Amino acid sequence: MKILHCQDIAAEPVTTEGAQGVTIRWLITKKDGAPGFAMRLFEIAPDGGTPLHDHGNEHEVFVLEGEGCVWREGREIPLKPGNAVFVPAGERHCFRNTGRSAFKFLCMVPA
């Protein structure tokens, strides 16, 4: 079992081309004995966001704090704390902070 506070894990800048003001904390990974998935905490600064992209794997996202949006099929869908998002494998998407404070969300992906 692993029990931690998210602040115990260093926030790393997301260096993917097009990412602005985004950090990631790898909370639970294969290194912790979780062979099936990884849990990540993203924080996006005001006016920041991830680039439009797709993956070969699904995403499960849960919004914790702030205001933001997810791009889907040419539209930006508003997000707020408590929203859950399922992004199927291969679907183009991006996340953007639309508020004045940090936009934080958990993102789980297959390992």
Q: Is the pLDDT of residue 20 over 90?
A: yes
pLDDT band (50, 70, 90) for residue 80: very high
Q: Is the pLDDT of residue 111 over 90?
A: no
List the domains of the chain with CATH numbers. 21-103 (2.60.120.10)
Determine contact, residues 97/45, Cβ cutoff 8 Å: yes
What is the residue whose two structure tokens read 């005001």?
46
Determine contact, residues 20/52, Cβ cutoff 8 Å: no
